[in-house]
Chain A
Amino acid sequence: DAKTTQPNSMESNEEEPVHLPCNHSTISGTDYIHWYRQLPSQGPEYVIHGLTSNVNNRMASLAIAEDRKSSTLILHRATLRDAAVYYCILFNAGKSTFGDGTTLTVKP
């Protein structure tokens, strides 16, 4: 199964952009790249997903490398409410593989 690798933790200052990287060097052509985040004592929450092209939504942007072996989640202006564990996940035919996630700390 494809795996994802993320840094264990990252810090950001409030209202500054945050770039969360993810490596998925064994990705297959039909794997979708999803990002979810999990707040303490809650279930994961969808953030964004893509296949080959960069994607934007109201929450974030997703930049996907041309060879698709890595991606970056971009939070344009981090807020205190963005502090969470961010997971980069590959979905394919219903199956998913979670990385260990990046714990994002946002400092006021």
Chain B
Amino acid sequence: DSGVTQTPKHLITATGQRVTLRCSPRSGDLSVYWYQQSLDQGLQFLIQYYNGEERAKGNILERFSAQQFPDLHSELNLSSLELGDSALYFCASSVRGSSYNEQFFGPGTRLTVL
């Protein structure tokens, strides 16, 4: 158990819908990362937050948005969902979000878009 929690574990929805994935970082970690893992594109970095502020952006679509709240939990919002958005979404946390910090990954949320 990494100490990072993600809810829900599974999510099934239809195209065009909007969903919210939630992540609670390890106690004491200030930085949260979101990743997408799909069969055809592997693991991809989406976005990073540090203490409530966006720090780095990767291959995140405009239909996707995220935020980190004052209690440090984070939410990833996916809208206008398409079949290709079906994937595992991982959240990770680290102490300060520096390049040399170890990241702790949650168990993931499996999103299926029908």
Contacts and interface: CB of A to CB of B under 8 A. Distances in A.
Interface residues of A, number: 22
A96 B45 contact: yes
B42 A93 contact: no
Given A94-B48, A95-B58, A98-B42, A31 B99 contact: yes
B105 A44 contact: yes
Nearest to B48: A94
A43 B92 contact: yes
Contacts of A98: 42-45
Q: Is the interface of B mostly helix, strand, loop or mixed?
A: strand
B105 A100 contact: no
Q: Is the interface of A mostly helix, strand, loop or mixed?
A: strand
A51 B100 CA distance: 8
A36 B4 CA distance: 16
A92 B45 CA distance: 12
A91 B42 contact: no
11 contacts: A43-B4, A43-B92, A43-B105, A44-B43, A46-B104, A91-B100, A94-B31, A94-B33, A94-B97, A94-B99, A100-B42
Given A92-B99, A94-B99, A101-B43, 9 more contacts: A43-B92, A43-B106, A43-B107, A44-B43, A45-B2, A51-B100, A93-B55, A95-B56, A98-B42
